[in-house]
Structure 1
Amino acid sequence: MFKTQAAVVESPGARFTVTDVELADLRPDEVLVRIVAAGLCHTDLGVQAGGIPFALPGVLGHEGAGVVVETGAAVTRVAAGDQVLLSFTSCGTCRSCRGGHPAYCDTWVPQNLILGRRCDGTPTITRAGAPIGGRFFGQSSFAAHAIADERSLIKVAADVPLDVLAPLGCGVQTGFGTVWNVLAPRPGTTLAVFGAGAVGLAAVMAAAGLPLGAVIAVDRVTERLELAREVGATHTIDTRTEDPATQIAAATRGRGLDYAIDTTGVPALVRTAVDALGIRGTCAIVGAPPAGTEVAFEVQSLLPGKRIVGVTLGDAEPETLIPQLVDLHRAGRLPLEKLVRNYSLAEIDIAAKDMHSGRTVKPVIRMDA
């Protein structure tokens, strides 16, 4: 048993409370990581608000980055002292995992969200001896230390800035993967990203590196739209003062979009994104609204070959994609510094408010701050 501190959410709607917890002894395929930094994601806030199921009280956090302290007896990919980025977990044996699509693992939902424990029911985190929810996305990294599956870890060089690259584990991977892996836009085509948060801006960065005809960012926060321009958007649309349909029609010369990505989960914007598609256009839905959220479509509008596809984590294989993103950052082509603002673990509630207000695009919690 290993004692550490973590930010615990007691119940839906409750604040984060920093408290002492205990971590279980490692299983052979598990790794103990000293967390240096962890990105705060809208999925964390969705669980906190009660819109996404998870075992509460529990420890959230799924964009961890840190240093390996100890490894289980069967671990071979990392060793004590290695710097690592943490991502989601998967079984490694189902058809999706074997086919290179671990984000669609047969056990993804229970292992990453619902159980809050190992598959055999044993907890990884206790508090005063009582089990609480852990293993969120295979890690629960809003803590000074975390237990992670070996499959969740990506080794990185000792000199990479963990407090900048932590968001690669989910948000940035989702945005890039949706563009690169799922949509794979052809040269000269047009793409619009609805929502210029961390996922949306990552998608803009991914698209900006391709020879597209237009990359359009849609949001209601002026600062985020300005940032979208900085990282590669050719057009921006402020939904407070501009009609997206009219502006997209102008940017695409009336043809409509070839590709759209919705990162908001807001039904009206999802409908707008689909309606804005041209012939044989594709809309990727990435945002995760509360369970039960529905969107109505006019069926005949879909008949000209429009496609709607749901995407989890950019359909990424983290061990392949994340090192590519690290290399892009090293080359100056992935300016995550423009998105990130650091907070201490004690300031995690402030970080959440700043993300809601748009003041901060991607809060990253520094455990040593």
Structure 2
Amino acid sequence: MSTTTRAAVVESGGAPFALTDVELDEPGPGEALVRMVATGLCHTDLGVASGGLPFPLPGVLGHEGAGVVEAVGPNVTGVAPGDHVVLSFTSCGGCRNCRDGHPAYCVTWLPLNLIGGRRADGTSTISRDGAPLGGHFFGQSSFAERALVDERSLVKVDPNVQLESIAPLGCGVQTGVGAVWNVLKPEAGSCLVVLGAGAVGLSAVMAAALTPATTVIAVDMVSERLELARELGATHTVNAAEADVTEAVLALTDGRGADGVVETTGAVAVLRKGADALAPRGTLVVVGAPPFGTEVALDVNALLPGKKVVGLTLGDSETQTSIPALVALVQDGRLPLHRLISHYPFADIERAVRDMSAGKTIKPVLTF
């Protein structure tokens, strides 16, 4: 039996999020029905809503959900009704990368999460007046009061932690944290640079503060965000509106450069500045996603001293391990995620979009 629920539907590229009733399919094998308590708003949602990615519209987005399981379909063993869950990305579970503990690099990642809008078998999870809508976004489509979620998107969490405080862990936070912990893995005394002090960048700063890196440089053009970055663990800040980023990093490192750089802005000019600021054997982690087909020019000879440029999806996280650990750090106050979050009622999703686009809020979290 289908479930009727209220969802924020984007009718076409560039259209607003409009609240409307939709029907959810009943939970199939490996799926659960989740009552949403909160969901983060991410730049990826805005990029798809603008028509910048080939996701089938009209559709329901949302991929940083947190809620309570209401019902489960056949063969679901990891969660049961009443469990508190954080929602993250989905994956096939059977390909080489999934079996190797790298589900963010699942061979079916793009169609299952970002552009398919359907289950792997091609069926739709969401419809309206009998017509299928784009859904299954990151295996969840959590911009709705209830969501039909892939079991592989679900992570069971401590029921004592407020779900409104941990919803962004499913995408933005684990992406920034994973760039530092899973890719850069800073050694004692190393220097890290974080380009962009939005939700992903500030998550990287908080993660860096929990490592033996001794120099953590945050770069942005908004002075208030740089001030927050200092409070969250940056040892230095660079205002890119006032200084050349490469020159500033070299000056702060006695000319050596950075051991690790996390690029979160999606701007190729910023990426190039980061690459040019690397120390020998340094690594640039590319997190920010510009439009499909974007290219960047690099100085090949400058890369020869062992420098690496590495792409990253969702922090290269194994969610069943990483998200409960992050929940524990939030709970203990060691990952002060609340400093990034502003709460909005679900009905105010358009105001949250405007505030995020204007830079008024770093991480909007919609509450139900």
Q: TM-score band (shorter)?
A: over 0.9
Matched residue of 1:35: which SS? Answer: strand
The one-letter code sitting in structure 1 at the alignment partner of 2:63 is H
1:10 alignment partner in structure 2? 11
TM-score normalised according to structure 2 size: 0.98
Matched residue of 1:308: which SS? Answer: strand
Q: Any conservation in 2 of the 1:35–1:146 contact (CA below 8 Å)?
A: yes
Matches within 5 A, 1:192-211: 192-211=193-212
Deviation at 1:301, TM superposition (A): 1.3
Counterpart CA distance in 1 for 2:247 and 2:352 is: 35
1:34 alignment partner in structure 2? 35
2:333 alignment partner in structure 1? 332
Q: Any conservation in 1 of the 2:186–2:212 contact (CA below 8 Å)?
A: no
2:60 alignment partner in structure 1? 59
Runs in 1 of length 4+ with deviation above 4 angstroms?
none
Deviation at 1:73, TM superposition (A): 2.2
Deviation at 1:98, TM superposition (A): 0.3
Q: Deviations over 1:25-79 (max 9, x none)?
A: 1112100000010000011011011222211110000000000010112111111
2:107 maps to 1:103: no
The alignment-based identity, stated in percent, is 62
Q: Deviations over 1:89-148 (max 9, x none)?
A: 001010000000000001111100121011111110001110000000000000000001
2:270 alignment partner in structure 1? 269
Structure 1, unmatched stretches of 5+, are none
Counterpart CA distance in 2 for 1:168 and 1:42 is: 14
Q: Any conservation in 1 of the 2:11–2:59 contact (CA below 8 Å)?
A: yes
User: Bigger CA drift: 344-353 or 222-231?
Assistant: 344-353
Q: Deviations over 1:300-331 (max 9, x none)?
A: 11111111000000100000000110111111
Counterpart CA distance in 2 for 1:347 and 1:253 is: 48
Matches within 5 A, 1:99-138: 99-138=100-139
TM-score normalised according to structure 1 size: 0.98
Matches within 5 A, 1:139-288: 139-288=140-289
Counterpart CA distance in 1 for 2:246 and 2:125 is: 49
Q: Any conservation in 1 of the 2:33–2:69 contact (CA below 8 Å)?
A: yes
Counterpart CA distance in 1 for 2:158 and 2:322 is: 15
The one-letter code sitting in structure 2 at the alignment partner of 1:88 is F
Counterpart CA distance in 2 for 1:221 and 1:366 is: 27
2:87 maps to 1:81: no
Structure 2, unmatched stretches of 5+, are none
Q: Any conservation in 2 of the 1:51–1:289 contact (CA below 8 Å)?
A: no
Q: Any conservation in 2 of the 1:248–1:257 contact (CA below 8 Å)?
A: yes
2:296 alignment partner in structure 1? 295
Q: Any conservation in 2 of the 1:36–1:162 contact (CA below 8 Å)?
A: yes
Counterpart CA distance in 2 for 1:218 and 1:355 is: 19
1:21 alignment partner in structure 2? 22
2:49 alignment partner in structure 1? 48
Counterpart CA distance in 2 for 1:53 and 1:360 is: 27
Q: Any conservation in 1 of the 2:68–2:81 contact (CA below 8 Å)?
A: yes
Deviation at 1:243, TM superposition (A): 2.0
Aligned length: 367
The one-letter code sitting in structure 2 at the alignment partner of 1:157 is D
2:324 maps to 1:323: yes
Counterpart CA distance in 1 for 2:139 and 2:96 is: 20
